[in-house]
Each structure stands twice: as structure tokens, then as C-alpha cells.
Amino acid sequence: MPEQYDLVVIGAGPGGYVAAIRAAQLGMKVAVAEKRSALGGVCLNEGCIPSKALLDSSELFAQIRDKTAGHGILVDPPRIDLERMLKRKEDVVKKLADGITALFKKNGIVTVTGTASLSGVGGDGMITVNVRADDAALPPRELAGRRVLLATGSAAVEIPGLPFDGVSVVDARGALEFNEVPGHLLVVGAGYIGLELGSVWRRLGSEVTVVEALAKPMPASDGQVADTLVRSLRKQGFSFRMETRVTALRAGDGRLTVELQGPSGSEQLTCDRILVAAGRRPLTAGLGLENLGVAVGTDGRVVVNENYATNIPGIYAIGDLIAGPMLAHKASEEGVVCVERMAGQASTVEYEYIPGIAYTWPEAASVGKTEEQLKSSGIEYAVGRFNFSANGRARCMDETEGFVKILAAAKTGRILGVHIVGPRASDMIAEAVTSMTFGATAQDLAMTFHAHPTLAEIMKEAALDVNKQAIHA
């Protein structure tokens, strides 16, 4: 007889594990089926966390190599112990994964390791989930849930002619596990993942070339932010080929040669490794959606309503499986709201205020509308902008690249978008998200205390500049 639960969650990534914990807090009996032996999903095990661990390590290395002399700190040229650096990354991941395991234990959540699929709906309305262990000798386990939440996330997209082999042509996971610094790394895709992992290996000594089919990187970002970030990355040694595609790949003599087709014609480029970061696809294969008739859109995303319910009663989906940006914090919020709605609460996700961040250096962070979007919609707006170079704390840090830009409605002053490129933009954007969520105006933000000297003062000055009242401009 199947093990019975109030909620069965398939997938223990940032959407699934957060939903499970919140459901348990609400009194539900919860089981989570996860194919990995470790909890946390792609984000924790091979994405967000390990990439940030390597970004911080490589950033520290670059600072010691390039910046300490300017602070009067003289050191011998630093050397890289890549094995130790990768070990530190794994330690960070393990500690956080162990933390989720402890949270599951604390909240009485049952974890079932194996590949899960929907197998049927009983006469009592209970949905059966079959979980197969990797070891074929072990019998499958059957779980039955009054509700089932699909939270299996996404995987990197392969592009024609560049199949992943795990060694020479890799996805983000492979790029986090190189056993040596590539001499020349080709990055296909100028989104967050490509620019971040390109930054890691560039700082550690790789030559990095970025190939992007579109005219600019991070196409959904504010144009000025994208342009500023590209200029900074070029200064760091990045090479960009925009509006360019890889049309052929040839391996020989231990290296890779690609054919590129761009605005000026075709060219050949020789490299050592290729990172393909050209997008992600929802992981629905093997879930058994067809067994129960769960509706899937033409884009491969599961179709849900405002309660995250599919067309099959009792089955729900969140995160990368459904419409919207594929971001860990979006999935987590959807997981919380989904189970709270199951419990009768009127929770909502504020989709207009989801921040997006590139953890390059300088960092880039945005929330709300871009200038391009406001212009195309015919919305009248005012712009306030303030540069890091005019900020005392940024000067002390020797980090003066970038700016904060605030877009506000022309008549009401309500903040419509905030865009930052500069040091610690990933932390600074939280103030903008909070302000916009509460419907703040630029004047509200300008009248709020910001401690001196801090980078946050730049936000205040940009808000003042919306009405051309910036003090230090």
C-alpha cells in the first residue's frame, strides 16, 4: 500500500525544499522525492552556490594580484591552488546541503531518494507517485499524496553542433569542475551564467571569448547597464562577438576549432574548452505528465492557474517548470505561496518586483521596468542617476565603476524601475525591491536616512536626481 501524505513534492531545489518546509510548518504531512543524494537541486549543488563560491575565490585572487599595491600592501605574485579552491567550493555546498537535511529532520519531512513519476489517481483522489532508486535491485517506493507539487527545475539547453561531452563542451556544471585553468575558454551565450563563469576563469588566467547571437548581452536588462558592464568586462580582457553564431566545431591536436558566423562574415577561432550557456529548458521528461494528461504549453512549460494548480486536480507546479524567469528566488516564493494557498491563505507573488542579478564584477542588478520598456509602452517617466565615482565609500574601496539609475513615473514619482551596475549591486537592489513593493516614490526614497559613508547613499542621490536635486552630483 502506498505511503500516504498530505503533500508529495517532486524535486528538492529552491522551490521544492522551501515549499516542503512551509507546508510542514502549516501542519501538512510532507514527503519529498529527489533523484540526487543531496538536497538543494541545481541551484545549491551545481549552480548558484558553487558558482558564487568560485566567483568569490577568483575575485579575491584578482584583488591580491591587481589591487593591493595601490593600498600600500606589497605581496609576491599570488599563485593558484585550483584543487584547494575547488575543495573549498565543495565544502560550501556540502555545509548548506547538510543544513537543508537538518531542516527537513526538524520539520518532520520524509525524503525519498530516486527518480519520481506520476503513476495514477486513485478513486479517493489520492495521486500516486512512483519513486525508482538508482540501484535497480531496490524496489520502487509508492507515495500517495492528496496533493503533488512538481518542482523539478530546468537543465541547460544544447545547441546544434555543440553537444555536451562533459570535458571539452560543457554546461555550467562542467565549467565549475575544470581540473585546470583553460588556456582559452569560449563562452556561448552572454547571459548571467556565461558572464559569471567567464569571469571566474578570466580572473584565474584564461583568455575568454563570448559569442552571443543577439546584439547585446543580458537582453532583458537595461541598455545602459548592459553597455557599461560590457565595457568593464572588455577592460578585464573579455573579447565579445555579438550577433554571432557557432556554425561548426572541429577537434584536433588537443584543441577545439569553431567556425563563427557574424556581421562581418565567417571566422575561425581555436580554444581549449567551450561553455554553452545559451538558455535552459524545463525538466518535465520522465515525470509522467502524459500518464495523467497534465497540460504543457508549446514552450514546454507546465500550464498552471493563479493557485499554481494544473488542469489535473491535486497536481501543482512551480519554478522553472512554469512561465516566468528561471530564478531560484522566484521558485522559492512560488513554493511558499503555493502551499499557503493550499492552506486557504491569500498569499501572492509580486512578479513585477523580481530582481535579476549578474554576479560579475562590477555586479549588475535590476528590478522593474527598463527605459526601453517604458519607451515602447509610451509611459512618461523621469530618470535619476548617480555614479559610484562620486561616492565616498566607493572611493575608499577603490571601486568607482558604475551607477545607480532610478526610473519614476513623471506625474506621480512612483518608482518604476531601478538599475545598478557597480560593487555590491546584488545587495543594494534589495532596498529598491522593498521600496517598489510598498509603492514608494522617488521622493520617499530620497527622504529616507542612508548612513554615511555607505554605498547605499548612491541610491538616495539617484532618487534625489529624479527631481534634479542631487547634492553631490
Strand partners, 32: 9, 111
Is 452 a catalytic site residue? yes
Three-state DSSP at 428 gives helix
| Rg of the chain over all Cα atoms, to the nearest angstrom | 24
* Distances, alpha carbon 234 to alpha carbons 143, 200, 293, 390, in Å: 53, 14, 50, 23
Q: Using an 8 Å Cβ cutoff, are 297 and 277 in contact?
A: no
CB atoms within 10 A of CB 378: 6
* Distances, alpha carbon 464 to alpha carbons 224, 289, 322, 458, in Å: 20, 52, 39, 10
How is residue 370 written as a grid cell? 527598463
Q: Using an 8 Å Cβ cutoff, are 406 and 384 in contact?
A: yes
110 phi, psi to nearest 5 deg: -90, 130
Angle CA 236–238–241, to nearest 5: 155
Q: Using an 8 Å Cβ cutoff, are 442 and 432 in contact?
A: no
Rounded to whole angstroms, how far apart are CA atoms 127 and 447?
54
Q: Using an 8 Å Cβ cutoff, are 445 and 460 in contact?
A: yes
The active-site residue out of 71, 184, 329, 452 is: 452
E-strand ranges in 162-278 read 169-170, 184-188, 207-212, 239-242, 245-252, 255-262, 265-271, 273-276
Q: Which residues are catalytic?
A: 452
